[in-house]
Structure 1
């Protein structure tokens, strides 16, 4: 039987019938790594990417109106719209501003001449200020994928079609006021990526997150300690936040690890 076992059994081949050779089908790799996506818009603009939220407005910034035409600073403190750039080219040095976040809603811009942009009473935008005041603050407005910049006179930044000067004279944002802010700053990764989800948020939210994680009662109603949270803030600074939260949960008998 061992001799028969050594014979490889296959499909029965009749006399005169040609045996078809089997072609091996190469299965596509399901886990094959995908090629990184290329930001074509960024490549087109010389590695300057489109800003989509106020947190991204910092460092080198260019204000783009239309397609690859940018606001350009003049040596007399005024601004104009620069000449169109070729595809793949970024803004010129005189078209690069420095953005400064004032607060969660407002930003300020400094020209290459080290002066801050402001709007004058006549609506003309100038760059002659040495410090940031109310008139030097701008509010980015994002809506439906479009963006506009509103200044202190409640008008929006635009280009005067008569002389290509930069002005803010219109209280409603339309196609002529729509612009794109472009940045070359390296995008920072999420600073909370290594922080457990339970510890993301303010001190009150963190405590609620851990109560939900360790609660032992069946009615699913949260039992939160009503004592002041100052002790939690101090414990967080000292590195003993978890112990302090456990003590508070033990008082409410709201933790399966509490005795």
Structure 2
């Protein structure tokens, strides 16, 4: 790893008799919430994002070895490494498999030819089975941001550099065995992190926030003069919570923000 450098700030020299100028407040751009960040890596792969947990290995998946190269099914029941794709392109139809859960921390893969991927005793990956048996079960291994796929014989899937055939012959996972399992299904949003007061349409959301934090000396509900359009923009930008706080801070009746 490269050396880490610490940045040192140097203050401006103040001469005798000079009055220090008041510091200008810099308004930092509010960062977007994690859920609204754009997955640039997925865009590079045509919207196919990298799977990092066993629960996401369901439905349509592809197996990427190297950069933008995917395992491709052949009509003879064997597999090969497909040609590289351009940035922004996803896998071809023959490079897309259907994944199913197959026991604890294991999954099965069906090719576009309707056959399940298995492995021979010699370590050749084949797709000729109509059902899932022990040889058709695969286990993903996720460690330090890397992914490898282990066969039922405890050997890891890789691509033979001599003929681009797909094999599972190594007992250890190294660079040749590292891959990316990719999915194009919509990621599920964890609704549990949404505060109760943020449920409903945007007009209701602001009323909920005001009710939660505002004092009612004169029993009247005070809302910010800004329209809902400002809240709509904030929601798209991922800054809804911060915008609601800003709007509350402008209301004198707010008990927390002044």
User: 1:182-193 residue pairs with structure 2 within 5 A?
Assistant: 182-190=182-190
Written as runs of structure 1 = structure 2, the 5 A alignment for 1:94-173 is: 94-173=94-173
Structure 2 residue runs without a partner (length 5+): 1-23, 197-258
In structure 1, distance between residues paired with 2:30 and 2:179: 41
* Secondary structure in 2 matching 1:182: strand
* 1:230-241 correspondence to structure 2 within 5 Å: none
Counterpart position of 1:53: 53
Following the alignment from structure 1 to structure 2, what is the Cα–Cα distance between the partners of residues 28 and 192? 31
Aligned-pair distance for 1:161?
Answer: 1.0
Mapped partners of 1:171, 1:34: distance in 2: 41
Q: 2:227 matched to which residue of 1?
A: none
CA displacement at 1:121 relative to structure 2: 1.2
Aligned-partner Cα distance in 2 for 1:193–1:113: 41
Shift of 1:61: 0.3
Structure 2 match to 1:42: 42
Question: Residues 46 and 26 (structure 1 numbering): CA distance in 2 closer, same or farther, change over 3 Å?
Answer: same
Match of 1:207 in 2: none
Following TM superposition, the consecutive aligned residue runs of length 4 or more in structure 1 with deviations greater than 6 angstroms are: 29-35
Pairs within 5 Å for 1:79-98: 79-98=79-98
Distance 1:100 1:195, change over 3 A: farther
Distance 1:98 1:34 in 2: 32
The residue aligned with 1:200 is none
Match of 2:83, SS state, is coil
Q: Measured at CA, do residues 28 and 106 of structure 1 come closer, stay the same or move farther in structure 2, by a change above 3 Å?
A: same
- Count of residues paired in the alignment: 172
> Residues 170 and 33 from structure 1, CA distance in 2 versus in 1: closer, same or farther, beyond 3 angstroms?
closer
Provide the rounded CA distance (Å) in 2 between the counterparts of 1:122 and 1:112: 24
The alpha-carbon deviation at position 37 of structure 1 amounts to 2.0
What corresponds to 1:209 in structure 2? none
**1:8 is matched with which residue?**
none
Paired position in structure 2 for 1:241: none
* Larger-gyration structure (1/2): 1
**1:149 Cα deviation (Å)?**
0.3
CA distance, structure 2, for counterparts of residue 68 and residue 184 of structure 1: 15
CA RMSD of aligned residues (A): 2.5
Deviations 1:191-229 (A, max 9, x none): 655899xxxxxxxxxxxxxxxxxxxxxxxxxxxxxxxxx
* TM-score of the two chains, using structure 2 as the length reference: 0.62
Change (3 A) 1:89 1:30: closer
* SS at 1:181 equivalent: strand
SS in 2 for 1:99: strand
Distance 1:26 1:183 in 2: 44
Matches within 5 A, 1:191-202: none
Aligned to 1:69, the other structure's residue is in SS state coil
